[in-house]
A = this chain, B = another copy of it.
């Protein structure tokens, strides 16, 4: 009853090396290698002045090649959001991987613990005493020791133990349990990353993280290991060093950027977030343009998601591109008719990088507009 995987007509990848990005089969996910490298270098340069490190989140790019560039530039490790992602990165030789999501089902706890066999620098988080005991039991069964951070809730109520005494009690339990080694604290304030306006964003995240810093201090006074205090992201990387005790930031999107982050505003006061220009784009083709002021392109929600805001058309800020059709992008423009004709190409900055990357199997790596490499988005679809 197990269906064999169907054999699709083969599309080879090597044939695209050297090709202009404007000649790829569309929709095509492209990254400008020089801009990618500049963004990676910019983060490290900025962090070097603040005394914290980067532990970039691989959930954004799902691509071991990019983790290697980040580690080579100075990152102290990488993050993964799912056990499946962590398995891909560990199997690719990336170390150390921190699994940032508390796992709860017995099978995933076993899979996570087993990652220690392949990488003795693998780390995971937990946010309840029950789960900590399950991890300890699974580690005992697998005859491994697992490094664990407590995941603290910054008030999002998504995951995490409450700061203060509940967090201290959990940390003390982990410190006591056999086969577990307490390594510190994780707290990701996802609600603060996209606050528009730097001053407002800074004030919010500092207020929300204050109880977490106090928790880290409480743990230190109790003699517990607080060597890692990790969290934050692309929206707060230049604020997070102000949380007392904070050690490293889990930026993900900064390598690529997207319309969501470009809109949050910069520390310079600019309404556009200028620190990391977009390196990631989707190239799309016009397939129909029979109505004045309208055109239809081949990148819909299956290539761009239906996330907001709309994609940005590179070089044409006046053009509106909507993605409410599965396979079609709906373009509206003012001015003279005939601006677009079938076969024309457009380049789009995506609404939200992470789920868009998750729709593609490969990333076309371009330099000066030509394909220089093709990277497997190896953790694409590994939500399990």
Interface residues of A (CB under 8 A from B): 1-9, 11, 13-14, 17, 23, 25-28, 59, 64-65, 81-82, 84, 87-88, 90-92, 101-108, 127-128, 130-131, 153, 157-162, 190, 285-288, 290-291, 294, 296, 298-303, 305-307, 325-328, 330, 342-343, 354-355, 358-361, 372-376, 378-384
Question: Are B305 and A158 touching (Cβ within 8 A)?
Answer: no
Taking a contact as CB atoms closer than 8 A, the residue among B91, B130, B306, B360 that contacts A8 in the complex is: B91
Nearest 6 interchain pairs by C-beta: A6-B378, A104-B342, A9-B87, A159-B288, A157-B291, A5-B376
What residues on B are CB-neighbors of A361 within 8 Å? 381
What residues on B are CB-neighbors of A28 within 8 Å? 384
Question: Are B382 and A92 touching (Cβ within 8 A)?
Answer: no
Question: Are B14 and A104 touching (Cβ within 8 A)?
Answer: no
Closest chain B residue to A375, Cβ basis:
B3
Question: Are A105 and B343 touching (Cβ within 8 A)?
Answer: yes
Taking a contact as CB atoms closer than 8 A, the residue among B6, B105, B108, B302 that contacts A383 in the complex is: B302
Taking a contact as CB atoms closer than 8 A, the residue among B373, B379, B383 that contacts A303 in the complex is: B383
Closest chain B residue to A23, Cβ basis:
B107
Taking the full assembly, how many copies of this chain does it contain?
2
Closest chain B residue to A81, Cβ basis:
B327
Given known contacts A8-B87, A8-B88, A88-B8, is B343 in contact with A355 (CB within 8 Å)?
no
Question: Are A287 and B101 touching (Cβ within 8 A)?
Answer: yes
Taking a contact as CB atoms closer than 8 A, the residue among B91, B106, B162, B373 that contacts A2 in the complex is: B373
What residues on B are CB-neighbors of A305 within 8 Å? 301, 305-306, 355
- CB proximity of A187 to chain B, nearest CB, Å: 13
Q: List 12 A-B contacts (CB under 8 A).
A: A2-B373, A3-B373, A6-B88, A6-B91, A8-B91, A11-B84, A25-B105, A26-B105, A27-B384, A102-B342, A159-B287, A305-B355
Taking a contact as CB atoms closer than 8 A, the residue among B13, B101, B359 that contacts A381 in the complex is: B359
Question: Are B59 and A327 touching (Cβ within 8 A)?
Answer: yes
| Secondary structure call for the A interface | loop
- CB proximity of A381 to chain B, nearest CB, Å: 6
What residues on B are CB-neighbors of A301 within 8 Å? 305, 307, 355
Question: Are A3 and B65 touching (Cβ within 8 A)?
Answer: yes
What residues on B are CB-neighbors of A379 within 8 Å? 8
Question: Are A25 and B384 touching (Cβ within 8 A)?
Answer: yes
Question: Are B159 and A127 touching (Cβ within 8 A)?
Answer: no
Closest chain B residue to A16, Cβ basis:
B2
Question: Are B6 and A162 touching (Cβ within 8 A)?
Answer: no
- CB proximity of A342 to chain B, nearest CB, Å: 4
* Separation of A382 and B26 alpha carbons in the complex (Å): 10
Closest chain B residue to A8, Cβ basis:
B88
What residues on B are CB-neighbors of A383 within 8 Å? 27, 298-300, 302-303, 327, 359
- CB proximity of A306 to chain B, nearest CB, Å: 5
Question: Are A59 and B306 touching (Cβ within 8 A)?
Answer: no
* Separation of A158 and B380 alpha carbons in the complex (Å): 30
What residues on B are CB-neighbors of A4 within 8 Å? 376
Given known contacts A305-B306, A384-B27, is B342 in contact with A130 (CB within 8 Å)?
yes
Taking a contact as CB atoms closer than 8 A, the residue among B3, B8, B343, B373 that contacts A382 in the complex is: B8
Most buried by B among A25, A162, A286: A25
What residues on B are CB-neighbors of A14 within 8 Å? 2
* Separation of A288 and B157 alpha carbons in the complex (Å): 9
